[in-house]
Structure 1
Amino acid sequence: MSAERGKRAGRAKTANLEFHPLRADLYQELHSRPFQVIPSQARITQIAVLTTPEQRQHQFEHLQKLHRLLGEPWPEQETSCYEQTFGNLRIRREVHMEFTSYTFINTADSPANPFTETGLTLLPDGWLEQLAGTVVGAFHIEVRPSSEDAQSELAFMRKHFEGMRLVGSRPQEGAARILGSFQLHSDNFGRFMVLNQQMSNSQLGRLVQRLMEIENYRLMSLLALPLARELTPDLNLMDRQLAHITQSLANNENLDEQQLLAELTNISARIEAFRARTTFRFSATGAYHELVLARLEELREEEVSGHLTLTEFMTRRLTPAVKTCEAVGERLEDLSRRIDRTSEMMRTRVDLAIQSQNQQLLSSMDRRSRIQLMMQHTVEGFSVVAISYYLIGLLKLALEALKNGGVEINSALVTGLAIPLVMVLVFFGIRLIHHRFLRMARRQ
């Protein structure tokens, strides 16, 4: 009763607190993919399938169909990690960002040789063939108890890998032995064998989980390698084209700027198309590679005589492939930056050409303005003569009118004397108007 009262008191104290709507999901996320518990006699098969959103829904419906075929109740709602046991068959489905993994664990006792029976043996016929998606990873893991004789044990393990070169180690400070080929065998599946020496079922489950993650993440990280190889010839060609354009600009050659800009635009568009196509894939490769290295470190391997450890194998084979993808991604970014700099140089060159053309245009306009000014002065001189001629003509008419009216006046003398006076007055009048317009222009 006191415990119940304590719970009620605790709820009362926190009743007015505002909790984040995702708080429960954040707590649950840490426990959404628990490690499995695997006995020392188990045959495991894992399949990793690239999945689209449409295929994911179809896969969940297919999982429900499996429950119906096995005569068991089926799940109504999809979860990121689903696990169910059907007698000696355990099924685990994990939904990841890009792929979905299916783990089938056959725990039935069997005297059969390794890989003769697998995790798929107990599945209903025809169910697996209808699974939607594209298979990337598919491999069997044979888990067995270890014997006392290490040499005979290694010989026993080797003969079940079809003569392929093996990679192996003693993880967890020698608590088990692992051998694998990291190759496809005659059944189109990879193979691993785990011999348990002193691990509990929980420890063995964690070891097998790490091994499956190493293989799946290794394959997912390598998806970018064919893409990197495909892009390399195009990048080499564009690199040479860009180097030629840059060298032409450096040599200050007479170039067709429009043609060069068209070439740069074409290269830039192709680079952006490549970046859009590869950015996610190359970033995912780096993330998967880091996960592989983290899982390898967790194994704490010891060397098995005559074999590369998983860490050594991945360092020699996987890391160079990942570095190739990283180099191609960095090369794309470098080409993009170089194109931007070359385009800036081209714009600078065009701007300088435009400034030169503008300077020439201004000089030409200045020359035309001076010519127009000289012509204006000439016209002004003609205007003084023309206006004076008409004013003298008017004055002469006025004098003749006065003379006809009886006024005694020497019209010829007055007209002659008025000519220079009228021309001077007209000249200064025109200059006064000219200066007035100049003052108006300056004020504006």
Structure 2
Amino acid sequence: MHTQRDALYAELHSRPFQVISSTARVSYLAVMMNGEQKKQDFQHFIGLYQRYGVVPPAQDSVCLEVSFGDVRIRRESHLEFISYTIINEGAPFLADPFANNGLSCLPKDWVGGMVGTVVSAFHVAIEDARQQPEPELAQVKAYFEGMRLVGSRPQNGDAQVWTTFQVHSDGCGRTLVYNRNMSDSQLGRMVQRLIEIESYRLFALLGLPMARYYNQRLANMDQKLADLTAQLADTKDEIDEQEVLEQIIDMAAWVEAARAKTTFRFSATSAYHDLVLKRLAELKEDEVSGHLTITEFMTRRLTPAVRTCKATSEHLENLSRRIDRVSDMMRTRVEMSIQSQNQHLLASMDRRSKIQLAMQHTVEGLSVAAISYYSIGLLKYLIEAAYDNGAPINKSLAVGITVPLVIGGVWWATRRIHKRFLKLAKE
């Protein structure tokens, strides 16, 4: 058996769908946290166990679920946030379906002591349309404080869903569900899809402010790079290559810093958008006459925002490639300038070598004369010594004969040495 076999099986069941009765109040919180805050949040969650006298889990996991009487709480750990789903199936239900909710049954000080930053917070009120008739549209609109409604009949009309995708006076969103012909399991799956659509679309939109911020600056950076490229292409005069390279380096540094800050957020936006589209397809909506469906609302509002983030990401990538090309062009220009300088330097060195060689030949001629002079002087001493000791020679004639011989010998030896050095240089 593979060592991870049990873990692989358990992964498919780590986030099971909820089973929700047809009359329930659900609250959902998605709180953005870093790694350290997630550890603090787990300890904070354990404190809720201790308040109700329930044995807490020994360690954190991707999904923890606990029941406190009629209240069920599910805590799920995601990549960048922690989500809480609170299901209240036993609280008294008032005329206003949002008067009681899941959060209202939790200790206020515990809710207020949570760490992190809330991104998504909304309530889902579930009513059973099989036992009581659905209210008139005007009454439903009153539940949403008169805001414009988005209507949907998911699961081929087995339920009626109303929402606004807006924040209400309590600081939370609202979704009203009327169960017409769904089992508790089907209702739980549908509510889970609605929760994920509302939550993921907000996380997808987190990249939009960042995209707008960089779009304004990318236009200026584009113009700056275009001007610099035109300057390199049009000018025939000498330019300050050091200054141009500094400008290119500054632009490249800015673009890389922007990419480092936006890559994760834009990638997450695309991933969340894909999840939203998948959940929308799973709803199997029917249209409510006179109202936008959830799918229509999302594709009209969310998709353009996601495309803006994608366009900004592609703009940064294209700008980075353009800067690389301009940088390559500048490096080529600098290399050509260096090669031209090297050619001039080599030509100058060649002229100096020729002058040095001519001087060397002059020195060689003087050296032959000097060496011959001293050699003849030494031979003269030898001839005079032999003549004074009775050698039968003509002293003047002997000295005269040695002069051409010595000069010829010195010249021949010097040429042999010169040729030897030239041969070594060619090797």
Alignment of 1:398-413 (within 5 A): 398-407=382-391, 409-413=393-397
Measure how far apart 1:198 and its partner are. 1.0
1:261 alignment partner in structure 2: 245
Please give the alpha-carbon distance, in whole angstroms, between the structure 1 residues aligned to 2:295 and 2:12. 27
Give the AA of the match of 1:52. Answer: N
Please give the alpha-carbon distance, in whole angstroms, between the structure 2 residues aligned to 1:68 and 1:214. 33
Structure 1 pair 436–72 and aligned structure 2 pair: CA distance change class (3 A): closer
Measure how far apart 1:290 and its partner are. 0.4
Measure how far apart 1:148 and its partner are. 10
Q: Which moved more, 1:239-248 or 1:150-159?
A: 150-159
Give yes or no for contact 1:140–1:192 (8 Å, CA) kept in 2: yes
The answer to whether the aligner puts 1:145 opposite 2:139 as a matched pair is no
Please give the alpha-carbon distance, in whole angstroms, between the structure 1 residues aligned to 2:94 and 2:415. 124
1:98 alignment partner in structure 2: 80
Q: 1:38 aligns with which of 12, 16, 20?
A: 20
Give the AA of the match of 1:135. Answer: V
Alignment of 1:307-346 (within 5 A): 307-346=291-330
Give yes or no for contact 1:69–1:124 (8 Å, CA) kept in 2: no
Measure how far apart 1:152 and its partner are. 5.1
1:193 alignment partner in structure 2: 176
Alignment of 1:245-256 (within 5 A): 245-251=228-234, 253-256=237-240
What SS does the aligned partner of 1:380 have? helix
Over residues 204-234 of structure 1, what are the superposed CA-to-partner deviations in whole Å (9 max), with x where a residue is unaligned?
Answer: 1111100000011111111111122222233
Q: 1:277 aligns with which of 228, 242, 261?
A: 261
Q: Which moved more, 1:133-142 or 1:354-363?
A: 354-363
1:382 alignment partner in structure 2: 366
2:200 alignment partner in structure 1: 217
The answer to whether the aligner puts 1:368 opposite 2:358 as a matched pair is no
The answer to whether the aligner puts 1:161 opposite 2:148 as a matched pair is no
TM-score after normalising by structure 2 = 0.93
2:409 alignment partner in structure 1: 425
The answer to whether the aligner puts 1:120 opposite 2:120 as a matched pair is no
Please give the alpha-carbon distance, in whole angstroms, between the structure 2 residues aligned to 1:406 and 1:56. 120
Give yes or no for contact 1:40–1:144 (8 Å, CA) kept in 2: yes
Measure how far apart 1:22 and its partner are. 1.3
2:220 alignment partner in structure 1: 237
Measure how far apart 1:314 and its partner are. 0.9
What SS does the aligned partner of 1:126 have? helix
Measure how far apart 1:407 and its partner are. 5.0
Structure 2: stretches of 5+ with no match in the other structure: none
Structure 1 pair 429–58 and aligned structure 2 pair: CA distance change class (3 A): closer
Structure 1 pair 120–394 and aligned structure 2 pair: CA distance change class (3 A): closer
Give yes or no for contact 1:146–1:153 (8 Å, CA) kept in 2: no
Structure 1 pair 111–408 and aligned structure 2 pair: CA distance change class (3 A): closer
1:205 alignment partner in structure 2: 188
Structure 1: stretches of 5+ with no match in the other structure: 1-18
Measure how far apart 1:403 and its partner are. 4.1
Alignment of 1:57-96 (within 5 A): 57-96=39-78
Structure 1 pair 195–153 and aligned structure 2 pair: CA distance change class (3 A): farther
User: In the comparison of the two structures, how many residue pairs are matched?
Assistant: 425
TM-score after normalising by structure 1 = 0.89
Give yes or no for contact 1:51–1:100 (8 Å, CA) kept in 2: yes
Measure how far apart 1:166 and its partner are. 1.6
What SS does the aligned partner of 1:38 have? coil
Alignment of 1:47-62 (within 5 A): 47-62=29-44
Measure how far apart 1:71 and its partner are. 4.0
Give the AA of the match of 1:70. Answer: Y
Structure 1 pair 201–430 and aligned structure 2 pair: CA distance change class (3 A): same
Measure how far apart 1:339 and its partner are. 2.1
What SS does the aligned partner of 1:303 have? coil
2:377 alignment partner in structure 1: 393
Give yes or no for contact 2:18–2:192 (8 Å, CA) kept in 1: yes
Q: Which moved more, 1:42-51 or 1:233-242?
A: 233-242
Identity %: 56
Please give the alpha-carbon distance, in whole angstroms, between the structure 2 residues aligned to 1:408 and 1:111. 154
Give yes or no for contact 2:66–2:73 (8 Å, CA) kept in 1: yes
Q: Which moved more, 1:368-377 or 1:35-44?
A: 35-44
Give the AA of the match of 1:364. Answer: S
1:355 alignment partner in structure 2: 339
Measure how far apart 1:236 and its partner are. 2.7
Give the AA of the match of 2:8. Answer: L
Give yes or no for contact 2:25–2:124 (8 Å, CA) kept in 1: yes
Measure how far apart 1:54 and its partner are. 2.2
What SS does the aligned partner of 2:127 have? strand
Please give the alpha-carbon distance, in whole angstroms, between the structure 1 residues aligned to 2:160 and 2:340. 78
What SS does the aligned partner of 1:232 have? helix
Give yes or no for contact 1:268–1:336 (8 Å, CA) kept in 2: yes
Question: What root-mean-square deviation, in Å, do the aligned CA atoms of Structure 1 and Structure 2 show?
Answer: 2.2
Please give the alpha-carbon distance, in whole angstroms, between the structure 1 residues aligned to 2:39 and 2:163. 34
Structure 1 pair 401–218 and aligned structure 2 pair: CA distance change class (3 A): same
Measure how far apart 1:399 and its partner are. 3.9
Please give the alpha-carbon distance, in whole angstroms, between the structure 1 residues aligned to 2:84 and 2:140. 25
Please give the alpha-carbon distance, in whole angstroms, between the structure 2 residues aligned to 1:150 and 1:107. 20
Give the AA of the match of 1:376. Answer: Q
Give the AA of the match of 1:48. Answer: A
Give the AA of the match of 2:107. Answer: P
Give yes or no for contact 2:71–2:86 (8 Å, CA) kept in 1: yes
1:14 alignment partner in structure 2: none
Q: Which moved more, 1:153-162 or 1:251-260?
A: 251-260
Structure 1 pair 111–398 and aligned structure 2 pair: CA distance change class (3 A): closer
Give yes or no for contact 1:147–1:153 (8 Å, CA) kept in 2: no
Please give the alpha-carbon distance, in whole angstroms, between the structure 1 residues aligned to 2:163 and 2:302. 15
